[in-house]
């Protein structure tokens, strides 16, 4: 018998990730239009909903419920990763806190924000030079 798990897991993650991306686009756009204004309320809403969802589903998958690994990965990594990577960041940081690794959680928060924003700034500046913006 052939083990198809090496094909099934990535395939489910890709399909769920595509769905999560579509859901992000729809929800963020709808909230942004409803909220109007210049504040990115659509993205904020997606991040908060994604964090809530990964918390609830992470607890569900950690409990006594038997969920096949490929489905758990498809939902947590694919669907929610496509919906918002901020939920993955929140979940991994929460895992550090729950493991009593508070210093590592703080470092993760600080580095993710400082390095992420710095990389976006640097990338934009490089793009300006490269593309004459």
Six-digit token string for 97? 């806190």
Please report whether residue 14 resides in a domain: yes
Please report whether residue 92 resides in a domain: no
pTM of the entire structure? 0.80
Please report whether residue 19 resides in a domain: yes
What is the count of structural domains for the chain? 1
Q: Which residue has the tokens 């969920």?
A: 67
Cα–Cα–Cα angle for 98, 101, 105, rounded to 5 degrees? 90
Beta strand ranges found along 1-133 (DSSP E): none
**Residue 75: Cβ within 10 Å count:** 22
99-119 pLDDT, tens digit per residue, is 999 999 999 999 999 999 999
CA 124 to chain centre: 22
Q: For residue 28, what are the domain limits?
A: 5-84
12-54 pLDDT, tens digit per residue, is 999 999 999 999 999 999 999 999 878 899 999 999 999 999 9
Alpha carbons within 13 A on the beta-carbon side of 117: 5
Please report whether residue 41 resides in a domain: yes
């Amino acid at each position: 018998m052939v083990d198809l798990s090496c094909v099934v897991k990535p395939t489910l993650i890709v399909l769920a990730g595509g769905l999560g991306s579509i859901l992000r686009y729809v929800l963020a756009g709808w909230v942004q239009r409803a909220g109007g204004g210049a504040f990115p309320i659509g993205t904020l809403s997606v991040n908060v909903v994604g964090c809530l969802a990964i918390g609830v589903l992470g607890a569900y998958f950690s409990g006594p419920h038997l969920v096949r690994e490929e489905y758990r990965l498809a939902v947590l990594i694919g669907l929610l990763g496509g919906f918002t990577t901020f939920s993955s960041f929140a979940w991994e940081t929460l895992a550090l806190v729950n493991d009593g690794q508070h210093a590592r959680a703080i470092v993760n928060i600080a580095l993710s924000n400082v390095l992420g924003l710095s990389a976006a700034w640097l990338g934009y500046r490089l793009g300006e030079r490269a593309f004459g913006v």
